[in-house]
Chains A and B, each alone.
Chain A
Amino acid sequence: MTDKPDANQSCASSVRLDASSSSSFTDAERLQSGYRYALALTHQPADAEDLVQEAWLNLCRRYGRVESNALLFTAVRNLFVDQCRRKKIVQFDSIDQPEPPELPAAVDEEPGLKGDLEALLAVLRPVERETLFLHYYQGHTAEEIAQLTGQPRGTVLSLLHRAIAKLREAAANPSAQTRCNQWLFSFVLFL
């Protein structure tokens, strides 16, 4: 199953969601916020920097200024989706991870993770990191994220649970990924 971010996201709904807070941001704060969102998508600082810069300049060329965080987030997201399409990045869900039969309404009360969060986030897919970012960092509810990203609310909750489960699994077994990578590296060298 492909799981690229959906480009058909409603910009209008995004603006509506974030309109109350947009006026209090300075341009610098807005740019930093957009950069963090880009980082959540790409997980690569250099890519995130390029992404937010291009989105910011596009908006400036088009509207003269960037009027809201939601507009910037939308531009960043659309640009990221375009890049994924150009690079033909297709990601697959594991069939070993069935949908949770019943999802709790909220996932606010979660204990912390052990280990380097930077490395743990790397095991997530962009859409999972994005959902985590919007929920835990931006403080959006699942309903708001669903509107923002154009996905069903159930999918958003599912993404949240999967992301957290992946993080916990990676935190509990930190050497598994490393061992796998070492084995692959040795195999490539052998070839």
Chain B
Amino acid sequence: MSDLRQQIRDHYEAKSLSAGKVEAILARGRGGEKVVRFPVRARALLALAATVVLAVGLAMWWPHGPGRVSFAVLAPRVVEFFGKPPELPKLSQNPEELRAWLLAQGAPADFQIPAKLRGLESLGCKVVDVHGRQAWLTCFWREKKPDGTGGELVHLWVVKREDFKNGPGTATPQMHEESGWSFASWSEGDLIYTLATKAPMEKLRPFAAAKTGSSSYLSAKDFDDRDGFFSGHREPPVGGIHGDRRHWPYVVLNATGLFSSGEMRPPVSDLARGDFKQFRVVIKPNDVFAT
């Protein structure tokens, strides 16, 4: 054995931990809990699952975030869409058939055609892209020429509320005119309905006032102002006008709640004509009339 080897051995042999330190380390080692680690594959799967959960979470959050499109873009898109004669992939005179076709194309299940439009003859429908969001379009004949060669149309656009921001928040139609078109928009559930026609607002108002027909409330602005009174068209409540009860119960609501109530007697002249849908009642602007 070389001297150097012996020297180095002696050097390191002389170095040692103190007995107390050794015992302390060994005691800590014995008392230490064993760390149970997932196998590599399990850890990879766990990481993958976490990534998927994160991605799904982001995807669910994203449409509610800044990625939503402003609802203001819909009206210009309508004008642009009808700038040239559109091609409608589905043509039918039956609105329910068009609705069924749109549902098959991915329209939300709660999509309903407003009651006032159901009485109209339909033309066709299409799924339209509005800045990357889907809109379900249905076209109706508002006024048809006697010879059946054409006429005026009213268009129903339905979009998802989650796809658009700053849209109408209530069932009360918001109306405006733009580029010679009239628009009435309101929301119901998760959907925003928009009626559009290339005509002055008075042509659109009767359809917008009725909306989907599910609400018994009418806004004062749904009525035509005439001699300080508001008159309008409204289906009579069941049993309210038939038989000997020739008057309707009604309430008028304003922004603070119940304004007045009573019974409304239709004009005798209307009764004589048998037009029981005509009525006159004194309500103020922004009041809501309900039967």
Contacts and interface: CB of A to CB of B under 8 A. Distances in A.
Contacts, number: 84
Given A45-B15, A133-B12, A27 B4 contact: no
Contacts of B29: 27, 56-57, 59-60, 65-66
A164 B3 CA distance: 12
Interface string A16-46: 0000000000011001100110011000010
B4 A31 contact: no
A118 B16 CA distance: 14
Contacts of A133: 8, 12
Interface string B104-133: 000000000000000000000000000000
A94 to B, nearest CB: 22
A49 B21 contact: yes
Interface stretch (A7-15, A82-90, A103-111, A148-156): A103-111
A61 B7 contact: no
Contact of B17 (A49, A110, A164): A49
B100 interface: no
A117 B7 contact: yes
Contacts of A57: 25, 28-29, 32
Interface in B1-32: 2-9, 11-12, 15-17, 21-22, 25-26, 28-30, 32
A135 B37 CA distance: 36
A113 interface: yes
Contact of B22 (A28, A36, A39): A28
A61 B25 CA distance: 13
B226 interface: no
B87 interface: no
Q: Which of B7, B16, B25, B34 has the most CB of A within 10 A?
A: B25
B33 interface: yes
B4 A113 contact: yes
A183 interface: no
B59 interface: no
Interface string A59-74: 1111111100000000
Contact of B16 (A32, A40, A111): A32
Contacts of B28: 53, 57, 60
B33 A137 contact: no
A133 B12 CA distance: 8
A111 B9 contact: no
Contact of A111 (B2, B21, B22, B34): B2
A185 interface: no
B35 interface: yes
Contact of B3 (A31, A64, A66, A110): A110
Contact of A60 (B3, B7, B32): B32
Contacts of A66: 29
B2 A31 contact: no
B8 A137 contact: yes
Contacts of A101: none
Interface in B224-266: none
A61 B32 contact: yes
A22 B188 CA distance: 78
A142 interface: no
B14 to A, nearest CB: 9
Interface of A: 27-28, 31-32, 35-36, 39-40, 45, 49, 52-53, 56-57, 59-66, 108-113, 117-118, 121, 132-133, 136-137, 164
